[in-house]
Amino acid sequence: MSKEATKVKRCKWAQNVCDLYRDYHDNQWGIPVYDDPTLFEMLLLESFHTGLSWLLILRKRENFRKAFDEFDPEKIALYGEEKIEELMGNEKIVRNRKKIEGAIANAKAVLKIKKEFGSFSQYIWGFTNHKIIKHTGGEVPTKTPLSDSIAKDMKQRGMKFLGSITVYSYLQAVGIVNDHEKECFCYIDMEEKN
């Protein structure tokens, strides 16, 4: 880690961490995402993140990309038993049958949502009327009434491994919720952009 990297004010969780984690904080976490492919990628990764370290998921991200057909929900929705067994044998990803089956269910649900709303982006951003929820200081929650509501709706649509805590983490990751601390340079950048 370079001395320059440690001089920049970041969120506490992103100070004095490995380059991969810091790069994720600086260049992705909390930055609004509106395109369906990235929104689905993060949804899949967050569902595998449940109960595990986010750093582990980041380290395996490219392996997930290859294993899950570049995060294409149209392809993932068609996965059958043969593909599930192939994924279960892939040591480069998280091998959890229920999460793999959940990814397939989530891909199918996302395709239905796209038909109903025009895009997954319209659906997910619609929960906040297309506005970014900004951190106001104090403790960052692990879930909120917003994440409760979205998780409930997602479950009703057949999604799996997306409880309120995982959904809140997802909202942070895709920038619907900007939980950068006020002292963090990313929070300041977001203020200037909005």
Bridge partners, residue 134, by sequence:
178
Nearest residue to 86 via CA among 103, 100, 104 = 100
Catalytic annotation present for 183? no
The CA distance from 194 to 187, in Å, is 11
Q: Answer for the pair 57, 66: CB distance below 8 angstroms, yes or no.
A: no
Catalytic annotation present for 54? yes
Catalytic annotation present for 46? yes
**Set 13, 21, 34, 54: catalytic member:** 54
Helices (H) and strands (E) counted in the chain, each on its own, are 11, 2
**Set 29, 46, 170, 187: catalytic member:** 46
Nearest residue to 171 via CA among 21, 29, 12, 14 = 29
CA angle 49, 83, 38 (to 5 degrees): 45
Residues forming the active site = 24, 46, 54
